[in-house]
């Protein structure tokens, strides 16, 4: 069964600064990775050296036939010390923006993708009294380099940030299944909501900008008798963050798999269930479920931009299989009236996945020694979909 997409559709690939740039030495995560007692198995180090090799990365995006690129600005580089704004790093990110324009790519810019300056965390992080004001100052400093940019994500996956904060407080290291995490630290969640609103106020000074934030969609599915519990899980971990977007210019959907809720909480998938390199269930229908749920929650006046979707696999044919099924479901939702404006595949590059290099999500592999990029067959396939708008 063929699927078609609107003519004006953003086809892109996504990255995040800490995961691809390398040597983000002023960030909180760099400090955490390199602490003597860190439980993370690997370090980001040079990452993919995209801080220097971004022109090559943008060339790949263009040459594949994509028309957009999602990337993040690293707060720790822009403001490595409190109140000290680096003009050099701002100029760097402006060059990336202009590099997108020069190649006919629409930049989708994220202002906060998980990492913060080390000094910000040391001062109390998101629950510090001046946290929102500090973030507002950072956004104000970035405004000049966003001239001409249309799509700006304020905060990436605030629900994950708040849930991870709760895990740290509880001394937990990982969840059993994707999304099966403790409820968010509500103080952190509330601060992120306030920071998002402050950022949108600042971004309103730029007439072309559409601003919103991205939410990690968990696709909570209830077993018989667990409907109320699943609704509670969805509300605390996802829906309260979607509700914030009801007055935004768009909402970013990020979906990979599902979480099944039984009477006692999350249910681990059966032993024979197909899984990805992250241990998540292979479930490409997650994307369609996520956009439909998000559309119901935020209402028809808020467009959806798929800001992340992909699969961690060492088998590139499996990447095509997963993405094809995910896009088929997305096209079905669009045909039935869900307002989706674009799709950003996660990720452009095999990159540092928050503690490990093992999960390979990329359309492009990267040699860890030479940083040489190799475009995978899945990237060629995806580029053809983008050029034709058809599956």
Give the pLDDT confidence of 5-24 residue by residue, as tens digits.
999 999 999 999 999 999 99
Kindly state whether residue 279 falls inside one of the protein's structural domains: no
Query: What confidence tier does 102 reach under pLDDT thresholds 50, 70, 90?
Result: very high
Residue holding tokens 């998938």?
Answer: 269
Catalytic residue among 33, 74, 79, 157: 157
Q: What is the pLDDT of residue 170?
A: 79
Which residues, 6 or more positions from 83, have their beta carbon under 8 angstroms from its beta carbon?
137
Kindly give the residue spans of alpha helices, DSSP state H, lying in the chain: 17-20, 28-33, 50-64, 75-78, 87-102, 118-122, 131-142, 158-170, 186-203, 227-234, 240-244, 286-298, 316-335, 377-388
Q: Which of 92-96, 111-115, 174-178 has the lowest mean pLDDT?
A: 174-178
Q: Which of 110-124, 151-165, 178-192 has the lowest mean pLDDT?
A: 178-192
Kindly state whether residue 260 falls inside one of the protein's structural domains: no
Kindly state whether residue 264 falls inside one of the protein's structural domains: no
Mean pLDDT of 357-381: 98
**150 exposed, middle or buried (CB, 10 Å; 0-12, 13-18, 19+)?**
middle
Give the pLDDT confidence of 289-326 residue by residue, as tens digits.
999 999 999 999 999 999 999 999 999 999 999 999 99
The CATH number given to whatever domain includes residue 97 is 3.20.20.80
Give the pLDDT confidence of 114-142 residue by residue, as tens digits.
999 999 999 999 999 999 999 999 999 99
Mean pLDDT of 371-379: 98
Query: What confidence tier does 286 reach under pLDDT thresholds 50, 70, 90?
Result: very high
Q: What is the pLDDT of residue 124?
A: 97
376, 63 in Cβ contact below 8 A? no
369 carries an active-site annotation:
no
Kindly state whether residue 292 falls inside one of the protein's structural domains: no
Q: What is the pLDDT of residue 179?
A: 60
Mean pLDDT of 146-173: 92
Mean pLDDT of 183-191: 97
pTM of the prediction?
A: 0.97
3-state secondary structure 202-237: HHCCCCCCEEEEEEEECCEEECCCCHHHHHHHHHHH
Peptide bond into 92 cis (omega under 30): no
Kindly state whether residue 5 falls inside one of the protein's structural domains: no
> 379 is in which domain, residue-wise?
10-216+304-388
3-state class (DSSP) for residue 118? helix
pLDDT higher than threshold 90 for residue 46: yes
Task: Answer left, alpha or beta for residue 147, where phi above 0 means left and psi between -120 and 50 means alpha.
Answer: beta
Q: Which of 99-108, 200-209, 268-277 has the lowest mean pLDDT?
A: 268-277
Q: For residues 110 and 15, what is the distance between their CA atoms, to the nearest angstrom? A: 10
Give the pLDDT confidence of 192-216 residue by residue, as tens digits.
999 999 999 999 999 999 999 999 9
Kindly state whether residue 63 falls inside one of the protein's structural domains: yes
Tally of domains in the chain: 1
Q: For residues 72 and 95, what is the distance between their CA atoms, to the nearest angstrom? A: 13
- Integer CA distances (angstroms), 283 to 34, 72, 259, 277, 390, in order: 34, 27, 10, 13, 21
β-strand pairing of 265-266 with 304-308: unpaired
364, 60 in Cβ contact below 8 A? yes
Query: What confidence tier does 177 reach under pLDDT thresholds 50, 70, 90?
Result: low
Q: For residues 215 and 251, what is the distance between their CA atoms, to the nearest angstrom? A: 8
Q: Which of 226, 214, 309 is nearest to 14 (CA)?
A: 309
Kindly state whether residue 268 falls inside one of the protein's structural domains: no
Q: Could you give the percent of the chain with pLDDT greater than 90? A: 94
pLDDT higher than threshold 90 for residue 168: no
* 151 bridge partner residues: 108, 210
Kindly state whether residue 223 falls inside one of the protein's structural domains: no
Q: What is the pLDDT of residue 181?
A: 83
Q: For residues 266 and 42, what is the distance between their CA atoms, to the nearest angstrom? A: 28
Q: What is the pLDDT of residue 269?
A: 87
């Amino acid at each position: 069964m063929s699927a078609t997409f609107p003519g004006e559709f953003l086809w892109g690939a996504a990255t995040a600064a800490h995961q691809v740039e390398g040597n983000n030495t002023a960030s909180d995560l760099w400090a955490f990775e390199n602490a003597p007692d860190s439980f993370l198995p690997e370090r980001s180090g040079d990452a993919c050296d995209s801080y220097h090799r971004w022109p090559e990365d943008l060339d790949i995006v263009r040459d594949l036939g994509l028309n957009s690129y999602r990337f993040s600005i690293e707060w720790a580089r822009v403001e490595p010390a409190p109140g000290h704004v680096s003009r050099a790093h701002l100029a760097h990110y402006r060059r990336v923006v202009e590099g997108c324009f020069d190649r006919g790519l629409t930049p989708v810019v994220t202002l906060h993708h998980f990492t913060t300056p080390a000094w910000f965390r040391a001062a109390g992080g998101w629950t510090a009294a001046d946290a929102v004001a500090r973030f507002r100052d950072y956004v104000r400093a970035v405004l000049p380099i966003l001239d001409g940019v249309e799509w700006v994500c304020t905060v990436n996956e605030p629900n994950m940030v708040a849930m991870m904060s709760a895990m740290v407080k509880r001394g937990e290291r990982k969840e059993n299944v994707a999304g099966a995490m403790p409820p968010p630290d509500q103080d952190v969640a509330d601060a992120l909501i306030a920071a998002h609103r402050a950022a949108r106020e600042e971004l309103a000074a730029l007439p072309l900008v559409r601003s919103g934030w991205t939410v990690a969609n968990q696709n909570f599915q209830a077993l018989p008798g667990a409907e109320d519990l699943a609704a509670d899980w969805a509300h605390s971990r996802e829906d309260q963050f979607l509700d914030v977007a009801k007055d935004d210019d768009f909402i970013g959907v990020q979906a990979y798999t599902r979480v099944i809720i039984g009477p006692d909480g999350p249910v681990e998938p059966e032993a024979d269930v197909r899984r990805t390199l992250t241990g998540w269930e292979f479930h490409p229908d997650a994307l369609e479920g996520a956009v439909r749920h998000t559309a119901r929650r935020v209402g028809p006046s808020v467009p959806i931009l798929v800001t992340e979707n992909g699969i961690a696999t060492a088998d590139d044919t499996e990447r095509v299989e997963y993405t094809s099924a995910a896009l088929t479901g997305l096209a079905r939702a669009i045909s039935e009236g869900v307002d989706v404006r674009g799709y950003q595949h996660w990720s452009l590059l095999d990159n540092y996945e928050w503690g490990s290099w093992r999960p390979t999500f990329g359309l492009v592999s990267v040699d860890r020694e030479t940083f040489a990029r190799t475009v995978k067959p899945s990237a060629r396939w995806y580029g053809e979909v983008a050029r034709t708008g058809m599956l």
